[in-house]
Structure 1
Amino acid sequence: MRLIPTKVVGRRTYLHTDSLSYLAANTAARVVEAERLAGFNRHVYFNLVRIDDSGPCISLLHYPDFADDPFPSLRESWLVDLDRSTVSYRSYAESLNPPILHRKELLVPPDDSRREAYAALTATAESIGLFDEPKRIGYRRQWLALVREKGYRIEGHALVPLGNDESDSGAADEAAPRHTAWQASRHLTALVRYGFSAPVQSLARHGFLDGSYRLFDYGCGRGDDVRGLLENGLTAAGWDPYHAADNPIHAADIVNLGFVINVIEDFDERLDALTRAWSLAERLLVVSVMLVNQNDPRGERFRDGVMTQRGTFQKYFSQSEIRGFLEQVLDEEAIPVAPGVLYVFRDKDAEQRFLVDRYRSKVNRLREPSPRLCEREQRIRLDRVAERYDAYREPLDHLWDLWLTLGRKPDKSEVDDLVVLTEGFGSLSKALRFLEERGDQAEIERASASRVADLEVYFALNQFEQRKPYGHLERALQQDVKHFFGDYAAAKASAMALLFQIADLEAIDQACRKAAEHGLGWLETGQSLQLHVSLVERLPALLRVYVGCAAVLYGDYRNADLVKIHTRSGKVSLMRFDDFEGQALPRMVERAKIKLREQDVDYFAYGEQYEPPYLYHKSRYINEEFPNYPEQMVFDQALDELGLFDWSGYGPSPGAFLAKLSRHRWSIEGFSLVRSQTTPDLDDSCGRYLTFRQLIECGETQARTGLDNVPMQPESYNALVELAEHVLDPVIDYFGMIRLTYGFCSPELAKQIPCRIEPKLDQHAAHEKNRVGKAICGRFGSAVDFIVDDENMLNVAQWVVTHTPFDRLYFYGEDKPIHVSFGPNQDRQVVRMIAGKGGRLVPRVVTALA
């Protein structure tokens, strides 16, 4: 018998294509059929196979760096359903956090020369505890963070200890409060922040905190934002009439008026604060306010706001109200960028750049260094070209990044290191040619195509919004138009063609399919594509325009959590959830359906009248780059594997879901599905057919003594449920009701049983402990003895062995009860009790019952 080189994870088996010859004939035939359906051969397109042991699916996986990368990344996969003869594709080529592979030595043939090195790496990883947390090892980002936490780095097929990591950390002392000319209680509204405020985070998200701009925080409160920006090496200052009254007030590129005008009760003073902040903003004013929530009363009415119990004033705005107020006072367009956060630009060129970049996919700029740079760093051969690159590495890298960002060769006016590059190469064009000869041409082409798409989206949405055209195009935008389109008229024509295409249902359907293949959302074929809003800017240009048109009617789609693109009805739904990122099962609080054809919006709120539903299978709508994605995937899979719920439609209601989960002794802790630690009522269901009382109050001794034979450990109840669900319920389904002759046994009951028993081995004690706190039976799990009346118990025992994941089974005779247990080991050990000397029964382990 040959040992098959495979890796088993759950109910799935992995092996390398070099090991396919080791498979059994029937399994090998399934793989061949999967290849036929996919339409290509092994080695060329894929090098690993994943076999679903209990289902019809086979996955063909491509790990291009399997041999050289110690933990290779998955590039692409094909999921083949043999029953349905369907093939679905997923690419991870552009993923920032692809799945990775461990324990490579298990996958290759025994005579493979690489096995020893692979096994040594695995042994080292095990020795430092890298595999102790399975949820953190499946994706590259979490894996590398875990390796570093353990104090190691990866070099080739080795783990090398890190040196000392010395870093200074400290917080600036909070300045003592000073007297203020504002109303005395206004200072109480200043929060102590432990992260950046919403307006500052919006500036970071839109690229304004790259070090190019000076920021002034007008009404900075306790100064947490300013301190954080300074710690990040940015130019920032602030003033506050209470907490920083002595600080100078001065102009800056960006002025932040964060949650200030909503705490000023005097209307004229509110106007003064706004106009003063606007006068200081040389490029951009950022205004943020508290938004109204009609379901949350906050205090007594006072002027046009409320007076809180703390004696502070709050004016709550709606999004449209604050936008109208800003535009009326400043006579400038206010652009909403987040709930309660709006931008007002003084610099119209900067406004155009912002509007273009707002619809830009930013994937390329976030990627790891290109292979061109990595390969160059690893070269040992020091020729003249390499020496020249090393001498100008930093400005060349900046130039390359700028080229990829623009999607075209930069102009002299756009290059910060022009003098250095001219000195080194003679001219900018020669420096660009130097990079072009050594760069990745495919990457340049991707960047160019991405930039064209960004510009088409920008111009298309401008025309849909009927935005008043600018008097002139910002200089960089002029260069973009000339390079990519030839002239402005051609750019508008291209954008208009894209805009009209949103009415093409087939084009929308194809774009949704392409997005799903790249991990951007969950596709319900012929119905919709649903995805998290963070993925929208990575969609194909057509879908970005589709969503952007809906946002014109609704407002910024980023205020929601999920976007649902209806592929056939011309609609877009936006859904907001309670703590989407932090919950395994977030609950929907708002849903808006934007009907593009009717130019109308239907709005639905969930609360007391309509129960907020859970979002099931959240992992479908995010991807591997989203926070807590690995944990979410494990949670969703565990929930599915319970087999308790019907997921059709929107799934069970929250009440029904939680009640059923509780009946089966499960609860949710964070992103984990865990066994309940509560004590149930004895008459509660234990499995589909029995109750806890039936499994506890059974047997002659318990009936004779009437002992209170109740488990003390919650884990014992959980073990009884698992025994019922995995063994007893299937037996009852097949043979009919069983008769229990011996079930749970407490230490008190064990003392009263006259015949010879083995509490330390038989698992009837479940998870109970003795007087010194140690488990009575180290095997854990639970056990019962039962008989099926009018059935040959040999047939019953044989069926249990064949069809259930039991731990141990003892067979006593065709007309005698059998003993069966279910435990964490699932050893599937079969013991036949035979008559020995003096008629005493002796156990004998057998491979089969006959």
Structure 2
Amino acid sequence: MGPTGEQWLSNRRLTAIGRSGLSVPARQAVMDQQISPQCSVLDYGCGRGDDVRALQSLATKASGWDPHFYPEGRLESADVVLLTYVLNIIEDPAERRHTLLKAWELAGETLVVSTRLTWERSKVTGDDLGDGVLTSRRTFQHLFTASELKSYVEEVTGVRCVSAMPGVIYAFKRDEARLAYLARRIAPAATWLASDDAASAMASVVDYTEQRGRGPRLEEMPAEMVKLLSHLTTAEVQRVVRASADAAKVAEGARRSTLTTLLFLGVELFNGRGPFGCLPLSVQLDVRTFFSSYKAACQRSDRLLLKLRDDSYVRGAMNGSKVGKLTPTALYVHRRTIDHMPVVLRLYEHCASIAAGRPQDWTVVKLRHQGRGVSWLDYPEFDSDPHPRLRSSYMVDLATLKTSFMSYEETVNRPLLHRKHEFLHPSDPDVPKYHRLTNSELRAGLYTNPHIIGTEEGWEAELVRCGRELRGHRLVMRK
């Protein structure tokens, strides 16, 4: 029986599983700074209450309510409301919608919604019931696609939402909070050098200026640093910075900040642009410093976003990219090299991640030439395995926003990578080692039949044919 007396068609309490730590959505919200000790959290439909206890252990003011396990829990508003794997177990669409509306009503700042996704269908067996499946244990599952979940939450709450990862959606009560989150994803806050006296504090300000291409405002500086420099006037600080900062580094910082601002504004337009006053302070200051006006900055970013529709422009950007492996169909780039891509390609990847979520585990991103599709590929042994095997692939089609997921963990003949150095930036410290291996394999004739070597069995057959074997990242004669 439900909390309002309605008869449930499924045994919902059986879907509540025990955990030893935070659930994936709650952990993501902590990592994204949506949950912190400074905010209150309500886990609405908390099941056995494991997330509540885990958050409390992190000094967070967390409480929970559940119609079966914690019906006596206090159901009152909180800064952040978690609605974790609740919508997918409700068989009645009207009740499902009512539950989401209630959670949104209780959220003071942010609502975190998570559900199971359609790629888990093979794990759910049972008979069709309404828009889902009733299992043999009489539990119900309505599986969402990543884009369907985002659209559903947006339609019910009436606000623009962001996909934090596949199956996890953030809905914000204020545009300022949404834009601050986007800014953190695209342009993480600057790091400040440790300071324990006025001289080191001034050195930190100089370093910030070189990184950002402009001096910091007091509001951007750590409180302790402001105290250390309180005996100096603003003009004196600026004079020291001008005398100490490397002009070439400042110019490079300004170029980098200009591109990052254009990237943020492009993603902001893709996700719903707000007024200038809603932007984070650091972005406002970058706009004022590097552009003639907010309107001019928006116009430049809009042109950049429009260029994503032009196949020839995107291919040109890929051809001109100094990083990544370019094939006849796509550009492949390692995650630690992604910030070295041209800004239009970074915008390409960010738009896909905002639309359908970037998975937690990925190693290489694949950007298609024609059409607009992004895949995040997971090669967990990339650094240790000379030819890492593919574990999973998550793809979003930007034209339709359809997503697909493929796991290769149970596949006998998995795809694998070659020429690892090509996925990285030339300055990456591992590039020389990977390059030496590639050259050795070329000399041994291992790449003579490229149509064979893309899978484990084909690659092993070529190693045997050439009388070679691998020891770490060294190619040796086969014994």
- Does the C-alpha gap of structure 1 residues 634 and 247 become closer, same or farther in structure 2, counting only changes over 3 Å? farther
1:586 is aligned to: 389
- Does the C-alpha gap of structure 1 residues 455 and 349 become closer, same or farther in structure 2, counting only changes over 3 Å? same
2:97 is aligned to: 271
> Deviations along 1:74-114, whole A, 9 cap, x unmatched?
xxxxxxxxxxxxxxxxxxxxxxxxxxxxxxxxxxxxxxxxx
What is the TM-score of this pair, normalised by structure 2?
A: 0.72
| AA in 1 matched with 2:341 | L
Deviation at 1:261, TM superposition (A): 1.8
- Does the C-alpha gap of structure 1 residues 573 and 324 become closer, same or farther in structure 2, counting only changes over 3 Å? closer
1:339 is aligned to: 166
- Matches for 1:243-642 after TM superposition, within 5 Å: 247-293=73-119, 296=122, 298-300=124-126, 301-360=128-187, 362=188, 365=190, 387-389=197-199, 408-414=214-220, 417=223, 421=227, 424-425=230-231, 430=236, 444-462=250-268, 465=270, 469-471=273-275, 473-474=277-278, 476=281, 477-499=283-305, 503=310, 509=316, 513-516=320-323, 521-523=324-326, 529-533=331-335, 535-548=337-350, 555-556=356-357, 562-565=364-367, 570-571=370-371, 573-575=373-375, 577=377, 580-581=379-380, 584=385, 585-587=388-390, 614-617=415-418, 619-620=420-421, 623=424, 640=441
1:697 is aligned to: none
Aligned residues with identical type, % of pairs: 23
Question: For the residues of structure 2 that align with 1:240 and 1:602, how far apart are their CA atoms?
Answer: 34
Q: Is the contact made by 2:35 and 2:80 (CA closer than 8 Å) also made in structure 1?
A: no
- Structure with larger RCO (C-alpha < 8 A, sep 6+): 2
> Deviations along 1:172-223, whole A, 9 cap, x unmatched?
xxxxxxx996979534433444564332343355444576654443334444
**Gap regions ≥5 residues in structure 1:** 1-178, 378-385, 675-720, 727-850
Q: State the SS of the aligned residue for 1:424.
A: coil
| AA in 2 matched with 1:326 | V
**Gap regions ≥5 residues in structure 2:** none
- Matches for 1:106-145 after TM superposition, within 5 Å: none
Q: Is the contact made by 2:48 and 2:69 (CA closer than 8 Å) also made in structure 1?
A: yes
- Does the C-alpha gap of structure 1 residues 655 and 423 become closer, same or farther in structure 2, counting only changes over 3 Å? closer
Deviation at 1:358, TM superposition (A): 3.6
Deviation at 1:661, TM superposition (A): 6.5
Deviation at 1:326, TM superposition (A): 1.6
Q: 2:60 aligns with which of 235, 242, 245?
A: 235
| AA in 1 matched with 2:344 | L
Flag the structure with larger Rg: 1
| AA in 2 matched with 1:237 | A
> Deviations along 1:645-687, whole A, 9 cap, x unmatched?
646247344444456678999999xx9699xxxxxxxxxxxxx
Deviation at 1:240, TM superposition (A): 3.6
> Deviations along 1:623-655, whole A, 9 cap, x unmatched?
59xxxx89x969976994986564624734444
> Deviations along 1:750-769, whole A, 9 cap, x unmatched?
xxxxxxxxxxxxxxxxxxxx
Question: For the residues of structure 2 that align with 1:298 and 1:262, how far apart are their CA atoms?
Answer: 12
Q: How many residue pairs were aligned?
A: 456
| AA in 2 matched with 1:352 | L
Q: Is the contact made by 2:197 and 2:228 (CA closer than 8 Å) also made in structure 1?
A: no
Q: Is the contact made by 1:547 and 1:572 (CA closer than 8 Å) also made in structure 2?
A: no
RMSD, aligned CA = 5.1
Bigger share in helix:
2
| AA in 2 matched with 1:580 | Y
Question: For the residues of structure 2 that align with 1:299 and 1:614, how far apart are their CA atoms?
Answer: 29
Question: For the residues of structure 1 that align with 2:98 and 2:206, how far apart are their CA atoms?
Answer: 46
Question: For the residues of structure 2 that align with 1:354 and 1:210, how far apart are their CA atoms?
Answer: 14
What is the TM-score of this pair, normalised by structure 1?
A: 0.44
- Matches for 1:671-690 after TM superposition, within 5 Å: none
Question: For the residues of structure 2 that align with 1:650 and 1:557, how far apart are their CA atoms?
Answer: 31
- Does the C-alpha gap of structure 1 residues 613 and 327 become closer, same or farther in structure 2, counting only changes over 3 Å? same
- Does the C-alpha gap of structure 1 residues 335 and 439 become closer, same or farther in structure 2, counting only changes over 3 Å? same
Deviation at 1:236, TM superposition (A): 4.1
| AA in 2 matched with 1:581 | P
Q: Is the contact made by 1:230 and 1:236 (CA closer than 8 Å) also made in structure 2?
A: yes
| AA in 1 matched with 2:374 | L
Question: For the residues of structure 1 that align with 2:278 and 2:136, how far apart are their CA atoms?
Answer: 50
Q: Is the contact made by 1:403 and 1:409 (CA closer than 8 Å) also made in structure 2?
A: yes
| AA in 2 matched with 1:543 | L
Q: Is the contact made by 1:588 and 1:615 (CA closer than 8 Å) also made in structure 2?
A: no
